[in-house]
Structures are given as C-alpha cells and as structure tokens.
C-alpha cells in the first residue's frame, strides 16, 4: 500500500515536471521578429560611413540589454512629503472609479483631428473593469522592451500612468516645442504632457531611489533652473544605468507626493497624484527623462524611452533640407501622420532642431532624430512635411513595440533655366 502510493506520487511528480518544462519552452519560444526596419541614417549611405556598421563595429547594440548596475544614490537632505490637498483636493481613485471606466484610453485630441483608434478596445475595457483598483495597471508591454533587431531602441520605462488613465502625449506641446502659438511662445518643452484629472495615480517608471520630492522652486542644484513652472515635482534616480550613464525620470505638477528623498521605489509603485501645481493650463502629468546628469539641460525625448502603448509603435525621424542638413530654420516644422487606408490624420507633431550651443534640447544618441510621434497604431501611414516650400511625403509601415524610422527630405532644387542675355 505504502509502496503503491509512493509509485503514484512519483508518476505525478514526473507529469508535473514534464508539463512545467513544456510550458517553459512554450513561453520562451521564438518571438516574432519584425521583417522590416528602416535604417536610421540613410543620408550617409556609403559602407564606410554607414553609422549602423560603424556603431555595430564599436559593439553598439551588444550592450543594449540592461544590466542592473546598482548606483549609489546621492541622498539629499530629506524634504517633508507633500500634504495631499496642498493645491486643491486630490480625488482619491476608488474601486468605483476604476470599475466605471468604460473607455480604456481617454483621448486628447485637438478639434481638427480624428481620434486615434485604440487596438483591442473591448478586451482592454474588460481587463480594466475587472482589475483590482489597488493593483498596478500597466500596459501589457513590460520594459525593458525592444523588438528592434539592431538594438537601437531603449524602452526601459513603463508608462507613469495606469492603462486606463490618459496615456496620449499632448500633441500641441511635444518635446522640444515652444508651444502652438508663435506670438506667445512657451518655454521650450523638456518633457511630455499627458492630460489627466487631478488625483490620477502617478507611478514610478522604473525602480530607483527618490532624489527629489518637493516644490520645484526649492532648487539649489540646477534641477529646475529655479523655475516655479514644475510645481510639486518628484525625481527618481534609476538603478539600471544605460551604457554606463545614469537615468532619471521626473514627474511634475503633482497634487501630492507619497515618497520622500531616499525612498526606494519599485517600477509601477504609486509615488504621487496628478495635479495642476506650477505653471499649467490644466491638470496633467509632465514627464521627463534625463540621461547622464540630473540637470535641466540633460533631457531626452521620453517617447523614445517609454514602452509604446499596446498595439502601437513610435515614429521617429528627421526632417532635412534638400542638401541633407537640418538647419535651425527647420525648427517647429509640422509633421503630419496620415493613415493610408482612409486618409485621415492620425497624429501631428513638430520638429526640434536647436543646433546652437545654448540649446538644451537633446536628440537621442542612438537615433539623432528631430521629431518623434508617440503611440501610433500598427498600420501604413504617409508622413508629411513641407520643407523649403516642397511637400515631402514618405510612406511607412508602423510595427508595434518599436521605433519606426522615416526621413523627410525634399528633392534638390532644379537649376535655374539658362536665360538669353544680351
Ligand atoms: Zn510639460
């Protein structure tokens, strides 16, 4: 009897191991590799000058896989946690709010633009409706993520907002922009904005140590240029360095902060609430990524560091003049992304080209882009700009979960017709 039971248990254990191993193989099976990637720099296409070949020769892409290098945080004096209600009373998100969300993605669109079509909206709604309101609600893509076979991408951060909050990046004031008005230019934008109600939860984009949690005006270290525009702000220094350089994320205009300087936070941990402190026209999260140094002038475009929304990719590119340069006259060139299937505008953005030495807007070191469009649903698009009076159109296919490259360069100007002189 004893022996028989023993035999049954052994068989059961063997079955469990076989099933477990099979599941492991299945989970780690080959992933879809995108068939097409546009080379990031076809401008200099001769083999010896090809930057991809050059960078690959330097080991570029090899070390793109993040290795957790534990940085010793430079702990600043502890500043008291902001009180909830310091600027208005934050709305505490309760179970009812989450269950009541029917649209998984709240859209921020200008009146002239049709709303982007969410992918798998019904499924996302169902997931959002059944989620534990106290649990982390990230998009399904978990960083670090890159489907880019060349390793140019570095989506190391999750979305700093829940999946059912508004994750759309405000188009009229993208990274590097000075705002929609020529007459009343705003401060050059060092981050991206995502409009949300006061009280929406703000989450750490990756694990790290809190190095600032206070009003941005208390700046003695060039974090915010002593500007009151940030309002209540949290800065996190992240554990995962990128190619030996430290990464920081910044969360501005908060109505409340739940962390203190020196606190260790995990990816997805609630650190504060969306607010309208500082210089704002409405409540939103201002999100920055800083590379190497935690300075106002060390930002990079967060869209190239944050996993795209599920079913969406990123378009990055360069707008160039006919000779292949990008002079500062191309700053604020409007780029329109038009869906081929119905001709409707999916998104617009503007270029950032600050080549003078006082510029503190930085192109990505891998891409050297001068515009980026966030969260474009998979599909085929015409990317359109007017350069030197010429309308330039490039058709691209957007693959989800990666950066899709495009260059907009007009044809050389025709040489002047010879004229009769006498
Ligand atoms: Zn902003």
Confidence band, pLDDT 50/70/90 cuts, at residue 11: low
pTM of the model: 0.69
How far is Cα 275 from Cα 281, in angstroms, rounded to an integer? 11
* Residue 69 predicted with pLDDT over 80: no
Domain presence at residue 22? no
Give me ligand 1 centre to Cα 288, in Å: 8
> 305 and 203 in one domain?
yes
The number of folded domains in the chain is 2
By 3-state DSSP, what share of the chain in percent is helix, strand and coil, each rounded to 5? 15, 25, 60
Q: Which of 374, 222, 197 is nearest to 303 (CA)?
A: 374
End of a domain among 309, 328, 350? 309
Confidence band, pLDDT 50/70/90 cuts, at residue 131: low
Contact of 213 with 79, CB cutoff 8 Å: yes
Give me ligand 1 centre to Cα 379, in Å: 29
Domain presence at residue 113? yes
> 275 and 251 in one domain?
yes
Residues flanking ion ligand 1, Cβ below 5 Å:
191, 193, 286
Give me ligand 1 centre to Cα 229, in Å: 9
15/137: higher pLDDT: 137
Domain presence at residue 388? yes
Query: How confident is the model over 92-115, as pLDDT tens digits?
Result: 222 222 222 222 222 222 222 222
Query: How confident is the model over 330-342, as pLDDT tens digits?
Result: 999 999 999 999 9
Query: How confident is the model over 151-174, as pLDDT tens digits?
Result: 789 999 999 999 889 999 999 999
CA 101 to chain CA mean position, Å: 24
CATH number of the structural domain spanning residue 352? 2.60.40.10
Give me ligand 1 centre to Cα 364, in Å: 19
CA 365 to chain CA mean position, Å: 15
> 284 and 260 in one domain?
yes
Q: Which domain holds residue 284?
A: 67-309
> 269 and 397 in one domain?
no
Any idea what the Cα angle at residue 55 is, between residues 51 and 56, rounded to 5°?
A: 115
pLDDT for 186 equals 80
pLDDT for 148 equals 76
How far is Cα 118 from Cα 107, in angstroms, rounded to an integer? 9
Give me ligand 1 centre to Cα 333, in Å: 20
Mean pLDDT, to the nearest integer, of 279-283? 91
Q: Which residue, chain included where needed, has tokens 């350069």?
A: 387
Give me ligand 1 centre to Cα 412, in Å: 37
> 359 and 320 in one domain?
yes
Identify the bridge partners of residue 314 per DSSP, sorted by sequence position: 403
Query: How confident is the model over 302-317, as pLDDT tens digits?
Result: 999 999 988 899 999 9
Most confident of 38-47, 82-91, 384-393, 412-421: 384-393
Give me ligand 1 centre to Cα 195, in Å: 10
> 301 and 321 in one domain?
no
> 113 and 252 in one domain?
yes
How far is Cα 128 from Cα 137, in angstroms, rounded to an integer? 8
Give me ligand 1 centre to Cα 103, in Å: 24
* Residue 51 predicted with pLDDT over 50: no
Q: What percent of the chain has pLDDT over 90?
A: 46
Domain presence at residue 365? yes
Residues contacting 157, CB < 8 A, separation 6+ = 143, 205, 206, 249, 289, 302, 305, 306, 307
């Amino acid at each position: 009897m004893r022996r028989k039971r023993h035999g049954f248990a052994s068989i059961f254990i063997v079955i469990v191991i076989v099933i477990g191993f099979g599941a492991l193989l299945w989970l780690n099976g080959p992933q879809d590799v995108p068939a097409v990637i546009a080379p990031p720099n076809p401008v200099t296409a001769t083999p010896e000058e090809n930057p991809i070949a050059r960078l690959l020769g330097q080991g570029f892409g090899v070390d793109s896989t993040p290795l957790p290098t534990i940085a010793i945080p430079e702990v600043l004096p502890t500043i008291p946690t902001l009180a909830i209600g310091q600027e208005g009373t934050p709305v505490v998100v309760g179970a009812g709010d989450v269950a009541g969300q029917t649209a998984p993605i709240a859209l921020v669109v200008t009146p002239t633009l049709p709303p982007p079509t969410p992918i798998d909206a019904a499924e996302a709604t169902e997931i959002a409706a059944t989620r534990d309101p106290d649990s982390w609600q990230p998009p399904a893509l978990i960083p670090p993520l890159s489907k880019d076979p060349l390793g140019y991408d570095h989506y190391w951060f999750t979305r700093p907002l829940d999946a059912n909050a508004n994750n759309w990046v405000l188009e009229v004031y993208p990274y590097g922009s000075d705002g929609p008005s020529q007459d009343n230019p705003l401060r050059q934008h060092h981050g991206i904005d995502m409009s949300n109600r006061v009280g929406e939860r703000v989450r750490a984009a990756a694990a790290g140590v809190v190095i600032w949690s206070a009003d941005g005006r208390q700046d003695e270290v060039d974090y915010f240029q002593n500007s009151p525009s940030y309002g209540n702000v949290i800065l996190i220094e992240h554990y995962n360095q990128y190619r030996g350089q430290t990464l920081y994320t910044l969360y501005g205009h908060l109505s409340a902060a739940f962390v203190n300087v020196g606190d260790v936070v995990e990816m997805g941990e609630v650190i504060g609430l969306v607010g309208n402190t500082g210089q704002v026209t409405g409540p939103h999260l201002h999100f920055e990524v800083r590379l190497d140094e935690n300075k106002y002038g060390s930002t990079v475009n967060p869209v190239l560091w944050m996993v795209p929304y599920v079913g969406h990719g990123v378009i990055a590119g360069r707008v160039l003049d006919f000779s292949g340069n990008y002079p500062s006259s191309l700053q604020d060139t409007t780029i329109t992304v038009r869906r081929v299937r119905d001709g409707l505008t999916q998104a617009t953005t503007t270029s950032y080209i600050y080549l003078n030495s006082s510029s503190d807007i930085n192109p990505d070191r891998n891409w050297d882009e001068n515009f980026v469009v966030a969260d474009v649903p998979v599909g085929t698009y015409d990317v359109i700009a007017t350069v030197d009076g010429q309308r330039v159109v490039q058709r691209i296919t957007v693959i989800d979960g990666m950066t899709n490259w495009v260059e907009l360069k007009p044809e050389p100007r025709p040489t002047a017709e010879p004229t009769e002189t006498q």
